[in-house]
A and B are shown apart, each in its own frame.
Chain A
């Protein structure tokens, strides 16, 4: 397990390899469809993402008088942001993108160029990730984007994930997809001597 702490400096991020298990602590910001659309249309960045982490997440956050409390904060599917992410990386200087399902080749190329990695969080693990949020330090664009799409400022401790796309251009998803397809092709061309109908 590699421990990463905010700020996530370029040198440390570039040393991460696809397959590394990481534990992230410190500030991370959520942002999904509305944030990417806003920035792509020329809107300003609501927070300073430099050497920071962007989490594709629409959390369930409740306001209980004392402040905000996070009930569930699992990752959302990242592919929707493919069209915007290369420019976002270039513009924002973000070092870590957290989500699920991985992103495309253009994003992978931008990660290599600017020094950024993609960390796969575990889909469905909303309760656990909510617990890793120690404090909601603030929120941006709440009125404009709504609670699920707002940019939440989370201070996290031991937020766990796996580096699935690294800054050298390696994507675990690509490797797994091509290898599984190779095995699949072998399995479906085998003679059906193992089943009787």
Chain B
């Protein structure tokens, strides 16, 4: 009999070894856009071949299996507990679906099972529009360290960028994050952006935007316009796949906003690599 824990282990395996269909489609259309024989086209071809090899072999598509974020529909709170998720993560690690990827920050020791206080991260949210729990069930996001190192937070006004406290200031911050990242976050990347919030919620909400599919539009018209504009302008920078030049620097930009206090105006950018591993296991409450 398949237990719920088995199904979570399966979710980890699937998430680790297969790229979401919307990301694969964006990579394929990027390949069509790039010049034949260019380094950008070669990199994208390699990425797509890698995704296929990982899917067929049921092996991690990237050896950095990342930090794990589980978002659980709050109606499943009593069924899908942090303890259950931790057990599933430990089993998935033993089975090789996850690398031993969790380091004690003080001693430098590597943990055997990827389980520790706060790891994996588990968040419960009411399912619905604008919520990180978009569907009824358990969603897993795996985010690698190379891309996480490229995430940034800005405080407006930012004099060095000439960025004021308005959406154009936000645009400048986001483009700055892209130009600083170059190819180091394993471009083409995907951005989750939070406009406003405090420092902590800024990073939280920005990362949650990576759970939205590519092409999903922001809640309000000004943010929708900003998403389109930033994507277009970022792709005009010429950074390209892995920073070797090309037309595809980003695959998508998802922006959300939170209220702020009068004294603060944060812009937070979560940079995700092309290997945007996210998947939902549907579970009836």
Interface size on A, residues (CB 8 A): 47
A195 within 8 A of B: yes
Chain B residues whose C-beta falls within 8 Å of the C-beta of A192 in the assembled complex: 166, 168, 171
Query: Which one of A101, A124, A197 lies within 8 Å of B184 (CB-CB)?
Result: A101
Docked CA distance A144–B251 (Å): 42
Which residue from chain A places its CB closest to the CB of B229 in the assembled complex? A194
Contact with B along A139-173 (1 / 0, CB 8 A): 00000000000000000000010101000000011
Q: Are A176 and B240 in contact (CB under 8 A)?
A: yes
Within 8 A of A (CB), among B94-132: 96, 99
Q: Are A123 and B242 in contact (CB under 8 A)?
A: yes
Interface size on B, residues (CB 8 A): 56
Docked CA distance A120–B46 (Å): 12
Q: Are A131 and B53 in contact (CB under 8 A)?
A: yes
Q: Are A173 and B243 in contact (CB under 8 A)?
A: yes
B88 within 8 A of A: no
Within 8 A of A (CB), among B230-270: 233, 236-245
Docked CA distance A125–B229 (Å): 30
Q: Are B39 and A127 in contact (CB under 8 A)?
A: no
Residue of A21, A74, A124 with most chain B CB atoms under a 10 A cut-off: A124
B72 within 8 A of A: no
Q: List the 5 closest pairs (A to B, CB-CB), nearest first.
A: A192-B168, A128-B50, A72-B63, A125-B50, A127-B54
- B contact residues vs A (CB 8 Å cutoff): 17, 37-39, 42-43, 46-47, 49-50, 53-54, 57, 59-64, 96, 99, 144, 146, 161-163, 166-168, 171-172, 175-176, 179, 182-184, 186, 222, 225-226, 229, 233, 236-245, 273-275
